[in-house]
Amino acid sequence: MNLANIPEKYRGHAAFSPVSFKNITLPGRIVRSATELFCADENGHVVQKEFSAYTELAKHPFGMIVSGHTCVSPEGRSNPGQNAVWDDIFIPDQSKIAGIVAGAGIKIILQIGHGGMKAEKSNGGRPVYTPDNMSVEQIRETVKAFADAAKRAQKCGFDGVQLHAAHMYLLSQFFYEQYNHRTDAYGGTGEKRFRIIRETAEAVKAACGDAFPVFIKINGDNNINNERYFADLCEAANICDAVGVEGMEISGYESQRAGTPEAPYFFETARNLMEHTGLPIMLVGGIRKRSEIDEILASGIKTVSFCRPVMQNYDFIERLFS
């Protein structure tokens, strides 16, 4: 079932009710979080397996589907199976994904990213860019690559983009003080370590128009100095609000917490964050039960996202509610 033919008894449930952000209204509050299938061809083109996956996903009651992280420039390709959007040549592939999902009445968001230190596999075993080795010129080029990619997403029919600033990819690396040792305008204080992310959001808005939705996925914690990190995160959320970002999806340093029972790992952080910002907060990570969905949405968090359960069963959400 998708949102159009959801059984009467679930209509009106918060999970299947619309939710509005600055420039976009989602028809429901269940999100399929960004999920890469690692199956692009060697040039970064989407293959049939992935189109089929979106066709299946679009049959289910999501309010929004976020694509897998899609690379904005060749040197930032995080793995050899990652989809690309660094050239107009990729517009037909990405248009097809957008069309499949939009046709089902679900909002479709392209997640755009750069691997930074994690792009070594596509570059003969060594990353090209790290926060520490980039010149200001290279930072500006990378920001522009994100904006160009977002413009392509807009042309393809995506409803917005999500900047992948989580999971220790390039934007995330800049934000963590343990990966960013710069002493110029892009390093040092939390505000300066967030600067590349702010400039990227601003560049996307400048390229696509202020009304084009921009979401951000970011880690809510650090594996060291959590208190300091949280203060930086509050500041970052308020900066995002000021530059027109729609919402911030909270993930974490250990996005999947291997070896611990699945539970909404980052709920407490997300809830605390809401007390320090007016920016809409979204949550991902370990959410498995209907009671958890209810509690999270009742707390004021705007959406709940799912990755692994949906990979195992496309109808995971229906099963939870049946």
Ligand X SMILES: Cc1cc2nc3c(=O)[nH]c(=O)nc-3n(C[C@H](O)[C@H](O)[C@H](O)COP(=O)(O)O)c2cc1C
A 10 A CB-CB count for 222 gives 19
Question: Of 26 and 166, which has the nearer Cβ to ligand X?
Answer: 166
**Strands 25-26 and 19-20, sheet pairing:** antiparallel
Segment interacting with ligand X, rule: CB under 6 A, options 2-10, 196-204, 223-231, 251-259: 251-259
Structure token pair of residue 11: 């209509």
Question: Of 50 and 232, which has the nearer Cβ to ligand X?
Answer: 50
Terminal alpha carbon distance of the chain: 12
CB of 78 to ligand X, least distance (A): 9
Using the structure block, give the residue that is written with the tokens 């974490």: 252
Q: Is the Cβ–Cβ distance between 78 and 84 less than 8 Å?
A: no
* Residue numbers 271-290 binding ligand X by CB under 6 A: 284-286
Nearest to 116 by CA among 34, 172, 69, 177: 172
Question: Of 35 and 154, which has the nearer Cβ to ligand X?
Answer: 35
Question: Of 151 and 217, which has the nearer Cβ to ligand X?
Answer: 217
Question: Of 39 and 91, which has the nearer Cβ to ligand X?
Answer: 39
Q: Distance between CA 316 and CA 320 in Å, rounded? A: 6
Q: Does 35 bind ligand X (CB under 6 A)?
A: yes
- Sign, CA dihedral 165-168-172-176, equals positive
Which x/- pattern over 252-271 shows residues binding ligand X (rule: CB under 6 A)? ---xx---------------
- Name which position in 34, 134, 208, 301 contacts ligand X (CB under 6 A): 34
Radius of gyration of the chain (CA): 18
Question: Of 229 and 316, which has the nearer Cβ to ligand X?
Answer: 316
CB of 137 to ligand X, least distance (A): 28
Question: Of 96 and 308, which has the nearer Cβ to ligand X?
Answer: 308
- Name which position in 202, 308, 315, 318 contacts ligand X (CB under 6 A): 308
* Residue numbers 137-196 binding ligand X by CB under 6 A: 164, 166-167
A 10 A CB-CB count for 138 gives 13
How many residues form the binding site for ligand X (CB under 6 A)?
21
Q: Is the Cβ–Cβ distance between 227 and 234 less than 8 Å?
A: no
Structure token pair of residue 216: 């951000």
Q: Distance between CA 93 and CA 152 in Å, rounded? A: 11
* Residue numbers 199-238 binding ligand X by CB under 6 A: 217
CB of 281 to ligand X, least distance (A): 15
Structure token pair of residue 163: 């900047």
Q: Does 121 bind ligand X (CB under 6 A)?
A: no
The site for ligand X (CB under 6 A) is made up of: 33-36, 68-69, 111, 164, 166-167, 217, 251, 255-256, 284-286, 306-309
